[in-house]
């Protein structure tokens, strides 16, 4: 067996390209999908929780 066959590395496969979709749009879609699928992070335990307002209390409009 020749040495070139024993050290042969697999050839990279071609990536299919969707015509009409730019790499920028593809990356933006992936970033949006990641943002939507990532759950919100837990609140920081070092920060105090906001005090609940009484049920009848109303805030003044700006």
pLDDT tens digits, one per residue of 10-48: 777 766 666 788 999 999 999 999 999 999 888 778 878
The answer for residues whose C-beta is within 8 angstroms of residue 26's C-beta and 6 or more apart is 18
DSSP state of 47: S
- CA dist 28 and 34 (Å) reads 10
The reported pLDDT for the residue numbered 6 is: 62
């Amino acid at each position: 067996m020749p040495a070139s066959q024993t050290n042969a590395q697999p050839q990279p496969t071609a990536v299919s390209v969707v015509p009409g979709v730019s790499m920028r749009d593809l990356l933006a879609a992936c970033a949006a999908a990641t943002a939507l699928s990532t759950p919100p992070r837990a609140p920081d335990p070092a920060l105090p929780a906001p005090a609940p307002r009484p049920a009848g209390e109303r805030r003044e409009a700006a």
